[in-house]
Structure 1
Amino acid sequence: MAQNFAHGNYSHTQKKARSSGGGRTPRDRARRELSQNFLVDRHALELVVKAAAPAGPVLEPGAGEGALTLALAEAGAQVTAYEIDPRLAGRLASRTRDDPRIDVVRGDFTAARAPHEPFAVVGNIPYAVTSRIVDWCLRAPGLTSATLLTQLEYARKRTGDYGRWSLVTVESWPWFDWRLGERIGRESFRPVPSVDSAILRVERRPEPLAGSRRDYQALVELGFSGVGGSLRASLRTRYEGVDAALAAAGVARDTVVGYVRPDQWITLYDRLR
């Protein structure tokens, strides 16, 4: 569920908030603390489901009121829906009690143990814990794909849409493909957040990079470390033949590390290992 960055009270809660003594109702406070913004636009739901193409086991972080949960089940998924808010989890569990396609878990998704069998993750996730959820997905050996509705800026940064590449994307690139999907306007949520969202698709590659994952990630982390003040200087602290490797990858000596594309990093790894 997307995080709510709006700072004003909503009209239907103002009177309750004033009389509560705390400025907001308990429901308002829960929405802020748990980043609760519910997807209410049917077309947006269809876009998420289409991008996910769910089949088989699907884990859903932040199920909320269950709109996406039901849509995923209707599309053929066997959904395990995680919801940390006990009130919402109880309501969704009661609502889906007789539906064998849905299992509601009251708890924190990021503390869950990943299934042994292949599975996908699909969710309208809280902005506040986006990085934790993405990290969980990247660490799960059985994950086939993650289709996540995130803050637009986050999705653009992770997929190189600004022309720059992040450490998280580059060091996972040989094993995961990152794609920017449809943009979802803020008006598709209730309460309405102050930013738009986008569908982020992370899919495990069927044929990952040959070589050592640890060695590749050590190379990338060194490059992003800033040691020496440039990518070239950082790499030269540990590797020989850096200039030749940069030339083979088509990377100028003064290129800022964020502008080095993932495919160029793979060439660097091939030349320097």
Structure 2
Amino acid sequence: MTQNHVSRKSGYRDYSHTQGKVGKAAGRTSRDRARRELSQNFLVDSDAVESIVRVADPNGLVWEPGAGEGALTIALAQRGAHVIAYEIDPLPAGRLAARTRGHTGIRVVRGDFTRARPPREPFAVVGNIPFSATAEIVNWCLTAPALTSATLLTQREYARKRTGDYGRWSLVTVATWPWFTWELRGRVDRTAFRPVPAVDAAILRIDRRPHPLVGDRETFRALVELGFSGVGGSIGASLRTRFPKANAALAAAGIAPDTVVAYVHPDQWIALHAAIFG
């Protein structure tokens, strides 16, 4: 598992291609190679750490992916959270364990966060996550039954796409919208990291809704996937392949049949589901 880390004043997959090209002189030492292989970008800006903690507003149990040497770990614990800090790289994991030995609010786990079994009690996830494994970590969070929220430092492009900041909506966001909110909660300049990545980062906040907006997860997911199938180039064309009266349902939800699916707001999908399934 690739890891991004927080180091004083302190990303996992879809957007790894945006990282800068590495020259022949780079990656000479074993640590340099580890940083490249594990997608390590240490956060070295104390203001950025404070911003993440402020958005996370931690309390109770917090799981942290990619803890690194622990700047974010310690800041979370200082706010009163009980932190389970996951780190796959043995060197920073050892340093963090030694640094926090005796701290009752921190437990360091050397291992792959995405392979861990989530706790049964309510918990939050907070982390400066590896850019190269963003999809895996987000999916882990969305499928953890007791997760209450996730505050993740991701590539800014990823956060903007998932929160509709470009005016378009992704399949992942729409399919989970009845159960989770997605918010872009701040930008972190790339110069806040060492080594400096090729792109800026952003704070992505995902919250589980206390009351789901849709009762039937299976039919909602199937509807959204059909809409995003791309058949015919519009939401109406895609839905008519299964629902002959799709145009009437779309009208009830306030959606023009020729709308490109990415421009349909998640709330309109909920109204559309209600119009079709009652």
Give the TM-score, by structure 2 length. 0.91
Aligned residues: 263
**Corresponding residue SS for 1:255:** coil
Q: Assess, with a 3 A threshold, how the Cα gap between structure 1 residues 210 and 229 changes in structure 2: closer, same or farther.
A: closer
Match of 1:58 among 43, 50, 62: 62
**Corresponding residue SS for 2:69:** coil
Partner of 1:99: 103
Matching of residue 140 in structure 1 with residue 110 in structure 2? no
- 1:99-138 paired onto structure 2 within 5 Å: 99-138=103-142
Match of 1:5 among 11, 15, 19: 19
Deviating runs (4+, > 3 A) in structure 1? 6-10
- 1:58-207 paired onto structure 2 within 5 Å: 58-207=62-211
Partner of 1:243: 247
Q: Structure 2: which 5+ residue stretches go unaligned?
A: 5-10
| Contact 2:233/2:260 (<8 A) preserved | no
Deviations 1:208-233 (A, max 9, x none): 12421011001001111113443212
Deviations 1:45-64 (A, max 9, x none): 00000000000000000001
Q: Assess, with a 3 A threshold, how the Cα gap between structure 1 residues 69 and 9 changes in structure 2: closer, same or farther.
A: farther
Q: Percent identity?
A: 67
Match of 1:219 among 223, 226, 235: 223
Distance 1:207 1:123 in 2: 26
Distance 2:233 2:151 in 1: 36
Structure with bigger helix share is: 1
Write the letter of the residue equivalent to 2:130. Answer: P
**Corresponding residue SS for 1:182:** strand
Deviations 1:58-115 (A, max 9, x none): 0000001111000000011000000011111111111111101000000100000000
Q: Cα RMSD between the aligned structures?
A: 1.5
Write the letter of the residue equivalent to 1:5. Answer: Q
Distance 2:113 2:22 in 1: 29
Distance 1:7 1:70 in 2: 33
Distance 2:243 2:69 in 1: 53
Write the letter of the residue equivalent to 1:214. Answer: E
Write the letter of the residue equivalent to 1:67. Answer: A
